[in-house]
Chains A and B, each alone.
Chain A
Amino acid sequence: MIEPNGSGSTLPGPTGPQVLFASVDEFLNWGRTNSLWFLQFATACCGIELMQTGCSRFDTDHLGMLPRSSPRAADVMIVAGTITHKMASRVRTLWEQMAEPRWVISMGSCANAGGPFSKYSYSVLNGIDKLIPVDVYVPGCPPRPEALIDGTEALKERIRKYQMFGIRDTEAIVIE
């Protein structure tokens, strides 16, 4: 097990926050937060809500978020919908194909912890945090578009503290 320096990259990194790169990091993070391209991993009802969030009324484009269909060109992976056992390996491979600094938003209670199908269903995976590290959980079934945009704001708060060569905060954020 490599000793995690937190930034997810295998570079041998120092442990404390980096003063030298602070101001540059702030500027780079401004760039990242204003151009957060998301991979639309839409499976079920939350997928329709994610699509309606991207449309004309709750326009994610005005926040600079473009829907991308290829994992290589995406920064954040929004897992929207129920993940069954058959689908689980795809979530993992798509996450691994994404380019570094990547983040994950788990949208909807199905992705958070199995949602309405967690008790009696034999085929639904209870929560995608068994597969990939999740940064933001957005509750709701399906969550309203405003809740999803609130989730992206919380993620932006985390990205503003992201340091290329420092500790990466991996503790999950839950939107009330």
Chain B
Amino acid sequence: MNFGPVQQSIAASLASWGVPHSGSELAALLILLLIPFGVAFSIAGVAQYFERKVSAVVSRRFGPSTAGGEGILRLVVSCAFFFLPAATRARLEKTVANLPGVKQVLFVVSYLGLGQIVADGLKMFLKEDIVPRAADRFLFRGATYVLLLASFVALVAMPISQNFYLSDFSVAALYVSAVTSVGVVGLLMAGWGSNNKYSLLGGVRAVAQIVSYEIPIALTIATVAMWSGTLSLHGMIAAQYHPGVLSFLGWNLFQSPFFLILSVVYYTAGLAECNRTPFDFSESEQELIGGVGTEYSGLRWGLIFIAEYTDMILVGGIFASLFLGGYQSPIGEQWIVALPPVWEALVHGAIFCAKFLASIGVMMWLRWTLPRFRIDQVMRMAWVRLIPLSLICLFLLAASMLWFGHDGQVAQVIHGRFVSSLVVRPEGWQTASVWGATILVVAVLVVLAKKYGDPKPMPEDVRKALVGGEG
């Protein structure tokens, strides 16, 4: 079993500690599995807290800021000194809390409200798990497992770093989009299973939305695969390698203007994929009370949300690998590649996490400012705007690749990874002309839209009264 050099090095170190050979490889794999799932699970929990902080900052108020570390401190003290009577344990806890170092840490943790993560999870864990009598028991319970399955199984294909990864399929990108569509079944099961009209409406809306937004995602992945020649995420990232200090110039985002448009298309479709505002129908509070999660209580409801946040991690990760050079650092790549495997894994992993956390942050920022679409506008947006746009970009990119000319299927080894890609050799003036043509066309479109776009614009005095100088 070879799951990448890091797994081999862990297995080797385990073997040196006397673990039999076959066992050490399996153990290494388990350790390897724990890390991404542990990270994903905790990131989902932190994301819930982070979301409330972003909402608070946007609306000028304090987010959660009372829950702190005293709960955990109380548990540690009372479990460590369970033999002492309660009164002395309380006094002991107070003295520990007032120790010089601990006092400041506790204050900062409580001021930031970091205990909220633990408190929410704990409370949800202890709530009564209601399965309504009229609900379809199997569907109701199964929905959460299907949802979690869909998002966590797709984590396997995440290209975390060059040496440390769970798997490097040759069709990783296709695998991810295929597996996330299993989540749709989970939403429908939750919608239909809880025998509640609101969740049924929410479930059916979410299914219609996700199914129709998977097409732009698949088209974008196909375009990037065409450009970099492989469907494997590691291959795509390797194809974006660019020597020198300004290594971000190698990223797909800057390779061609059509990639710029496609990145916007992919990010919007990704928002719709994980039901985030302005497309959040599975949990639209105002219209359908709780959407799909109306009848769920306690941790089952929490699991649905963890599945949603893991979807956000997925969309962020794939977006980073397709357009932002995956785990490659923007400033110089050679010194990281030269590091020993474990250190390289850590640095690249950190860069990858930074990228998808940034994309999650933007998703949360959008959630608290934008209103929600109506379901028919969402459908029109998918079928009338995003899919044609991604098709046009695919076609134009293919045309520009043919025009650039390529020297056939070249087998390359980029930092130790076999990449067979269609290496495109555009001359300087060719890329400049493609960029220039696109910018020209877009400028013309903007001018036309401004002149003829809105036949009945809002009267000027009303606009001035409403928006004043800031308009």
Residues B64 and A64 in contact, CB atoms below 8 Å apart: yes
Does chain B have a CB within 8 A of A34?
yes
Residues B122 and A64 in contact, CB atoms below 8 Å apart: no
Set of chain B residues within 8 Å of A97, measured between Cβ atoms:
130
Assembly CA distance A118 to B51 (angstroms): 43
Residues A99 and B298 in contact, CB atoms below 8 Å apart: yes
Does chain B have a CB within 8 A of A22?
yes
**In the assembled complex, how far is the CB of residue B110 from the closest CB belonging to chain A, in whole angstroms?**
10
Residues A62 and B123 in contact, CB atoms below 8 Å apart: no
Assembly CA distance A48 to B97 (angstroms): 40
Q: Which of A129-165 contact B (CB under 8 A)?
A: 164
Set of chain B residues within 8 Å of A69, measured between Cβ atoms:
285, 289-290
Assembly CA distance A99 to B128 (angstroms): 5
Residues A61 and B61 in contact, CB atoms below 8 Å apart: yes
Residues A73 and B293 in contact, CB atoms below 8 Å apart: yes
Does chain B have a CB within 8 A of A169?
no
**Mask: chain B, 53-79; 1 = CB below 8 Å from A; 0 = not:** 001100111111111001110110011
Residues A34 and B74 in contact, CB atoms below 8 Å apart: no
Residues B296 and A72 in contact, CB atoms below 8 Å apart: yes
Set of chain B residues within 8 Å of A35, measured between Cβ atoms:
67, 116, 119-120, 122-124
Residues A23 and B79 in contact, CB atoms below 8 Å apart: yes
Set of chain B residues within 8 Å of A49, measured between Cβ atoms:
none
Chain B CB within 10 Å — which of A56, A66, A73 has the most?
A: A73
B61, B122, B290: the one within 8 Å of A73 (CB): B290
Assembly CA distance A27 to B298 (angstroms): 18
Residues B126 and A32 in contact, CB atoms below 8 Å apart: yes
A22, A34, A72: the one within 8 Å of B301 (CB): A72
Residues A62 and B113 in contact, CB atoms below 8 Å apart: yes
Contact count band on A: 20 to 34
Assembly CA distance A97 to B127 (angstroms): 13
**Mask: chain A, 1-40; 1 = CB below 8 Å from B; 0 = not:** 0000000000000000000001110111011101101000
Does chain B have a CB within 8 A of A63?
yes
Set of chain A residues within 8 Å of B252, measured between Cβ atoms:
none
Does chain A have a CB within 8 A of B96?
no
Assembly CA distance A34 to B70 (angstroms): 11
Q: Which of B294-332 contact A (CB under 8 A)?
A: 294-298, 301
Set of chain A residues within 8 Å of B55, measured between Cβ atoms:
61
Set of chain A residues within 8 Å of B123, measured between Cβ atoms:
31-32, 35, 37, 75
Residues B116 and A34 in contact, CB atoms below 8 Å apart: yes
Residues B64 and A72 in contact, CB atoms below 8 Å apart: no
Residues A23 and B63 in contact, CB atoms below 8 Å apart: no
Residues B297 and A72 in contact, CB atoms below 8 Å apart: yes
Of all chain A residues, the one with the shortest Cβ separation from B56 is A61
Set of chain B residues within 8 Å of A27, measured between Cβ atoms:
71-72, 74-75, 78, 122
Of all chain B residues, the one with the shortest Cβ separation from A22 is B86
Set of chain B residues within 8 Å of A31, measured between Cβ atoms:
71, 118-119, 121-123, 126
**In the assembled complex, how far is the CB of residue B251 from the closest CB belonging to chain A, in whole angstroms?**
38
**In the assembled complex, how far is the CB of residue B223 from the closest CB belonging to chain A, in whole angstroms?**
41
Residues A56 and B71 in contact, CB atoms below 8 Å apart: no
Residues A100 and B127 in contact, CB atoms below 8 Å apart: yes
**In the assembled complex, how far is the CB of residue A103 from the closest CB belonging to chain B, in whole angstroms?**
13
**Mask: chain A, 49-74; 1 = CB below 8 Å from B; 0 = not:** 00000011101011110100110110
Set of chain B residues within 8 Å of A56, measured between Cβ atoms:
59-61
Assembly CA distance A148 to B123 (angstroms): 22
Residues B70 and A30 in contact, CB atoms below 8 Å apart: yes
Does chain A have a CB within 8 A of B373?
no
Residues B126 and A28 in contact, CB atoms below 8 Å apart: yes
Set of chain A residues within 8 Å of B254, measured between Cβ atoms:
none
- A-B contacts, 16 of them at CB < 8 A, read A22-B86, A27-B74, A31-B71, A34-B116, A35-B122, A61-B61, A62-B56, A62-B62, A64-B113, A69-B290, A70-B295, A72-B296, A73-B293, A73-B301, A99-B129, A164-B126
Q: Which residues on A are within 8 Å of B, measured CB to CB?
A: 22-24, 26-28, 30-32, 34-35, 37, 55-57, 59, 61-64, 66, 69-70, 72-73, 75, 97, 99-101, 164
Known: A32-B122, A35-B116. 10 other contacts (CB 8 A): A23-B89, A28-B126, A32-B123, A61-B62, A61-B63, A62-B62, A72-B130, A73-B290, A75-B127, A101-B127
